[in-house]
């Protein structure tokens, strides 16, 4: 399979400058907040989710992915009126799944990244619906077409974003 | 046991993280008891996050504002002059409207005081710029660049001139979170302006405001305005909210319906908002001042209207005649000019100003037929109108200045005196001879003075007061000098040369 991790290089863990571990999630949450104000359509794009997926795939550690997702989700919750942990639960699960998947497949393939982003966006929104509708008992309108469009947009933006984030990656040989 | 933890370490960590967050949700989401606030203090993590995100957003927003301001104020000035003219015209039009509404407003104020009605007026507002949003579809909140250091507290209304926006929720030192009316967690008391149906406004899952749990009512139509009712103790009463878009069934509360509202404020593109920091029961001084000014304008308008009727000479003598202007009496009608009844084609004894004063009539004598001139009883010289007004003075019951006396078409029965010509009407009075026949053939001036105004008979005056408004009763003024009555302006100005129409033989009508 072309998408499977077959070479040692692909299985290497990649390093990342430490400050970027803090700066990139904060920037993602901030840009999301600022851009959605001036471009309401931007609210459909979930930059913190894409950053969560990217770090989880890059770290290839389910535990690290879980904590990364939980922290980014809680930061995102902090800017909303929702209780802290709503996005945290969703992104913790996505981080765990993405890190588990990152060990097994070639995460640098654009096609694989596109499918990963689309699939995890749908999964994230499904978990979010469960949390909001059943844990918090709040109204939530689920529209399959809308969710698929959102997933496609996230997938395309994710491929571009992952390429940009790769530029700052430091490989361990 | 050790192998179990090491084998399922990842899954156990995930479960632990999820469990901790679920417990955290359970702690945060709690049922609100009556009399308690619907939320606790601001979480530290929110404070940190807002403190981290807000400054860059403020800088970015400020940079964008400067760029836009530079472009709009110095570069994009194409249609400014035309817009300025249009706005000036709109201001003039609104001044007239304001003047006409001032009386109603004052009456409303008096009624409110009579009923001891406690209204809420906006005393003080703080202008704020919107610098950020939540970034999530399910959370309709905004961030503004004013916080507790600017006097903002939680649960303060946030509005725009077009409509309400929401209320402040979490307040930080230099930033505040605004919960918009399109959020499902929001709530505002509203009332439909026409049908006066009250309800609670909140956002639905799609982010559109709606009035929930409304009984089906056929009177509710799309386009009806919605205003705040003041029942929520947050928004002052009467603020615009939006308009009714349509009614939909409420699946959770049959047979109730929800009224979808199109918000007046553009919630998707907000730049600046006003935070209402102070309200009160009394009208603000500035509003009271504006109202007084509008009332003054209204009074001046009425006074100038009356003066214009009384002083036909206040017409620009150099103005072109009506025919040249292409003006007609219809298109000259101004919205500010009060309507008057048309003159009767065939005046009779019941026509205003056609009946001689009661003091001049002889008991038992047959009253003259003013329209045909028949059955005219001879009148003695003593009964003829003299310089001293003898008729009862009619004074409007509201105490206002009565309209000027319109040169009554006094018929002097038996004397063959020519009928007094009508004084040309004020603004349409042309000076050119060509226009004279038109005004005389349409003698609107002989029309009774505002018969719609209730009048009451006042005591007979002992002597005419110089400059006093002429009453509606017919009275002849200084008949010695000329046949027609002389109109003396109340402001002491020199009256115009008196023009009389050609003598009309009695009975010619």
**Ranges B35-44, B429-438, B441-450, most confident:** B35-44
What number is the average pLDDT over the span A118-123?
Answer: 95
Complex ipTM above 0.90? no
Q: What is the pLDDT of residue A97?
A: 94
Look at chain B and count its residues: 509
Taking 80 as the threshold, does the pLDDT of residue B275 lie above it?
yes
Task: Report the number of distinct structural domains present in chain A.
Answer: 1
Task: Report the number of distinct structural domains present in chain B.
Answer: 1
Lowest mean pLDDT among A127-131, B167-171, B426-430: B426-430
Rounded Cα distance, A90 and A102, in Å: 18
Judge whether B139 lies within some domain: yes
Judge whether A153 lies within some domain: yes
3-class SS of residue B200: strand
Look at chain A and count its residues: 173
Q: Kindly report, residue by residue over B378-421, the tens digit of the pLDDT.
A: 444 444 444 444 444 444 444 444 444 444 444 444 444 444 44
Judge whether A9 lies within some domain: no
CA atoms within 13 A on the CB side of A44: 18
Instruction: Looking at the complex, report in whole angstroms how far the Cα of residue B57 sits from the nearest Cα belonging to chain A.
Output: 6
Instruction: Looking at the complex, report in whole angstroms how far the Cα of residue B29 sits from the nearest Cα belonging to chain A.
Output: 7
Model confidence at B167, pLDDT cuts 50, 70, 90, reads very high
Contact A79 B131 (CB under 8 A): no
Contact B133 A81 (CB under 8 A): no
Rounded Cα distance, B387 and B136, in Å: 87
What number is the average pLDDT over the span B237-265?
Answer: 87
Q: Kindly report, residue by residue over B97-132, the tens digit of the pLDDT.
A: 887 787 777 777 777 666 655 556 677 889 999 998
Q: Collect all residues with Cβ–Cβ distance below 8 Å to A73 and sequence separation of at least 6.
A: A48, A52, A85, A86, A87, A88, A89, A90, A91, A92
Q: What is the pLDDT of residue B284?
A: 65
Task: Tell me which residue has tokens 């009456």.
Answer: B107
Q: What is the pLDDT of residue B473?
A: 43
Task: Tell me which residue has tokens 């799309």.
Answer: B222
Rounded Cα distance, B96 and B250, in Å: 45
Judge whether B213 lies within some domain: yes
Q: Kindly report, residue by residue over B11-68, the tens digit of the pLDDT.
A: 999 999 999 999 888 888 765 555 555 566 667 788 888 888 888 888 888 888 888 8
More confident residue, A75 or B423: A75
What number is the average pLDDT over the span A129-157?
Answer: 90
Q: Is the peptide bond before B359 cis (omega within 30 degrees of 0)?
A: no
Rounded Cα distance, B49 and B132, in Å: 13
Q: Kindly report, residue by residue over B478-503, the tens digit of the pLDDT.
A: 444 444 444 545 554 544 554 444 44
Judge whether A155 lies within some domain: yes
- Nearest CB among A26, A92, A135 relative to B52 is that of A26
Taking 90 as the threshold, does the pLDDT of residue A90 lie above it?
yes
Q: Kindly report, residue by residue over A148-169, the tens digit of the pLDDT.
A: 999 999 999 999 999 999 888 7
Contact status of B29 with chain A (Cβ, < 8 Å): yes
Interface test with B, best of A75, A80, A101 (most B CBs within 10 A): A80
Structure token digits, residue A99: 């890190």
Positive or negative, the Cα torsion across B336, B341, B345, B347?
negative
- Nearest CB among A63, A83, A141 relative to B28 is that of A83
Taking 90 as the threshold, does the pLDDT of residue A87 lie above it?
yes
Share of chain B above pLDDT 70, in %: 53
Judge whether B193 lies within some domain: yes
Q: What is the pLDDT of residue B317?
A: 57
Look at residues A27, A85, A78 and name the one whose alpha carbon lies nearest to residue B50.
Answer: A78
Q: What is the pLDDT of residue B311?
A: 63
Mean pLDDT of chain B, nearest integer = 69
Judge whether B502 lies within some domain: no
Lowest mean pLDDT among A157-166, B64-73, B172-181: B64-73
More confident residue, A117 or B216: A117
Burial class (CB in 10 A: 0-12, 13-18, 19+), B186: buried
Residues of B in contact with A37 (CB under 8 A): 130-133, 142, 270
Contact A138 B184 (CB under 8 A): yes
Q: What is the pLDDT of residue B411?
A: 40
Contact status of B248 with chain A (Cβ, < 8 Å): no
Q: What is the pLDDT of residue B29?
A: 77
Instruction: Looking at the complex, report in whole angstroms how far the Cα of residue A86 sits from the nearest Cα belonging to chain B.
Output: 7
More confident residue, B377 or A68: A68
Contact A63 B13 (CB under 8 A): yes
Task: Tell me which residue has tokens 């200045």.
Answer: B401
Model confidence at B321, pLDDT cuts 50, 70, 90, reads low
Interface test with B, best of A81, A90, A121, A153 (most B CBs within 10 A): A81
Judge whether B242 lies within some domain: yes
Residues of A in contact with B11 (CB under 8 A): 62
CATH, residue A20? 1.10.1760
Q: What is the pLDDT of residue A129?
A: 93
Q: What is the pLDDT of residue B375?
A: 46
Contact B57 A43 (CB under 8 A): no
Judge whether B141 lies within some domain: yes
Mean pLDDT of chain A, nearest integer = 86
Q: Identify the domain containing residue A107 by its residue range.
A: 15-164
Taking 90 as the threshold, does the pLDDT of residue B423 lie above it?
no
Look at residues B465, B354, B484 and name the one whose alpha carbon lies nearest to residue B407.
Answer: B484
Q: What is the pLDDT of residue B233?
A: 83
More confident residue, B364 or A60: A60
Judge whether B408 lies within some domain: no
Backbone φ, ψ for residue B436 (5° rounding) = -65, -45
Judge whether A73 lies within some domain: yes
Burial class (CB in 10 A: 0-12, 13-18, 19+), B261: buried
CA atoms within 13 A on the CB side of B43: 19
Instruction: Looking at the complex, report in whole angstroms how far the Cα of residue A6 sits from the nearest Cα belonging to chain B.
Output: 24
Q: Identify the domain containing residue B251 by its residue range.
A: 44-77+118-280
Q: What is the pLDDT of residue B456?
A: 41
**What's the Cα-to-Cα distance from B332 to each of B325, B327, B335, rounded to whole Å?**
11, 7, 9
Rounded Cα distance, B312 and B389, in Å: 23
Q: What is the pLDDT of residue A136?
A: 87
Model confidence at B328, pLDDT cuts 50, 70, 90, reads very low
Q: Count CB-CB contacts under 10 A for residue B196.
A: 9
CATH, residue B234? 2.40.10.340
Contact assessment for residue B500 and residue B484, using Cβ atoms and an 8 Å cutoff: yes
Lowest mean pLDDT among A143-152, B224-233, B385-394, B445-454: B445-454
Q: Please list the residues that pair with A35 across neighbouring strands.
A: none
Judge whether A139 lies within some domain: yes
Share of chain B above pLDDT 90, in %: 12
Judge whether B361 lies within some domain: no
What number is the average pLDDT over the span A50-71?
Answer: 93
What number is the average pLDDT over the span B174-185?
Answer: 91
Structure token digits, residue B196: 């006066």
Q: What is the pLDDT of residue B2?
A: 65
What number is the average pLDDT over the span B422-440?
Answer: 39
Structure token digits, residue B223: 């386009």
């Amino acid at each position: 399979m072309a998408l499977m991790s077959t070479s040692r290089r692909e299985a290497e863990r990649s390093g990342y400058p430490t400050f970027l571990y803090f700066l990139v999630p904060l920037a993602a949450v901030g840009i999301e907040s600022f851009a959605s104000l001036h471009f309401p359509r931007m609210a459909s794009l979930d930059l913190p989710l894409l950053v969560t997926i990217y770090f989880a795939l890059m770290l290839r550690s389910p535990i690290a992915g879980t904590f990364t997702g939980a922290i980014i989700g809680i930061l995102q919750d902090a800017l909303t009126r929702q209780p802290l942990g709503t996005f945290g639960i969703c992104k913790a699960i996505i981080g765990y799944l993405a890190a588990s998947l990152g060990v097994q497949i070639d995460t640098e393939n654009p096609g694989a990244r596109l499918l990963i982003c689309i699939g995890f966006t749908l999964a994230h929104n499904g978990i979010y619906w469960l949390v909001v509708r059943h844990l918090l008992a709040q109204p939530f309108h689920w529209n399959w077409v809308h969710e698929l469009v959102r997933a496609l947009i996230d997938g395309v933006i994710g491929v571009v974003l992952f390429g940009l984030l790769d530029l700052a990656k430091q490989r361990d040989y | 046991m050790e192998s179990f933890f090491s084998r399922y370490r990842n899954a156990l960590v995930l479960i632990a993280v999820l469990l901790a967050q679920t417990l955290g949700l359970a702690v945060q989401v709690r049922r609100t008891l009556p009399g308690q606030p619907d939320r606790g203090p601001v979480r530290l993590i929110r404070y940190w996050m807002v403190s981290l995100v807000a400054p860059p957003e403020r800088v970015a927003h400020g940079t964008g504002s400067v760029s836009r301001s530079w472009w709009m104020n110095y570069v994009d000035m194409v249609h400014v002059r035309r817009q300025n003219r249009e706005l000036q015209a709109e201001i003039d039009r609104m001044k007239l409207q304001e003047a006409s509404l001032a009386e109603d407003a004052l009456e409303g104020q008096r009624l409110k005081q009579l009923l001891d009605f406690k209204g809420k007026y906006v005393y003080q507002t703080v202008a704020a710029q919107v610098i950020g949003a939540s970034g999530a579809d399910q959370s309709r909140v905004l961030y503004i660049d004013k916080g507790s250091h600017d006097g903002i507290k939680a649960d303060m209304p946030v509005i725009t001139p077009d409509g309400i926006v929401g209320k402040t929720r979490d307040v930080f030192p230099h930033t505040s979170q605004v919960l918009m009316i399109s959020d499902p967690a929001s709530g505002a008391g509203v009332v439909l302006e026409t049908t006066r149906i009250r309800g609670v406004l909140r956002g639905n899952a799609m982010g559109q405001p709606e009035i929930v749990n409304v009984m089906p009512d056929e009177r509710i139509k799309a386009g009806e305005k919605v205003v705040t009712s003041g029942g929520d103790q947050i928004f002052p009463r009467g603020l615009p909210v939006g308009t009714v878009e349509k009614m939909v069934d409420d699946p959770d509360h049959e047979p109730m319906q929800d009224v979808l509202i199109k918000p007046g404020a553009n919630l998707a593109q907000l730049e600046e908002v006003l935070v209402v920091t102070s309200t009160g029961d009394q009208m603000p001084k500035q509003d009271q001042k504006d109202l007084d000014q509008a009332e003054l304008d209204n009074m001046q308008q009425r006074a100038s209207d009356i003066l214009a009727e009384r002083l036909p000479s206040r017409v620009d003598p150099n103005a072109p005649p009506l025919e040249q202007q292409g003006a007609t009496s219809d298109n000259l009608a101004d919205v500010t000019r009060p309507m008057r009844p048309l003159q009767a084609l065939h005046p009779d004894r019941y026509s205003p100003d056609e009946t001689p004063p009661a003091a001049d009539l002889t008991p038992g004598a047959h009253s003259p037929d003013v329209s045909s001139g028949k059955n005219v009883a001879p009148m003695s010289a003593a009964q003829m109108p003299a310089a001293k007004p003898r008729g009862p003075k009619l004074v409007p019951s509201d105490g206002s200045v009565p309209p000027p006396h319109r040169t009554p078409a006094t018929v002097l029965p038996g004397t063959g005196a020519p009928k007094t010509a009508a004084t040309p009407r004020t603004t349409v009075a042309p000076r050119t001879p060509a226009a004279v026949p038109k005004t005389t053939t349409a003698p609107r001036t002989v029309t009774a003075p505002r018969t719609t105004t209730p009048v009451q008979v006042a005591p007979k005056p002992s002597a005419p007061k110089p400059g006093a408004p002429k009453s509606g009763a017919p009275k002849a003024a200084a008949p010695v000098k000329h046949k027609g009555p002389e109109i003396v302006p109340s402001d002491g100005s020199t009256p115009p040369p008196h023009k009389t129409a050609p003598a009309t033989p009695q009975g010619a009508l």
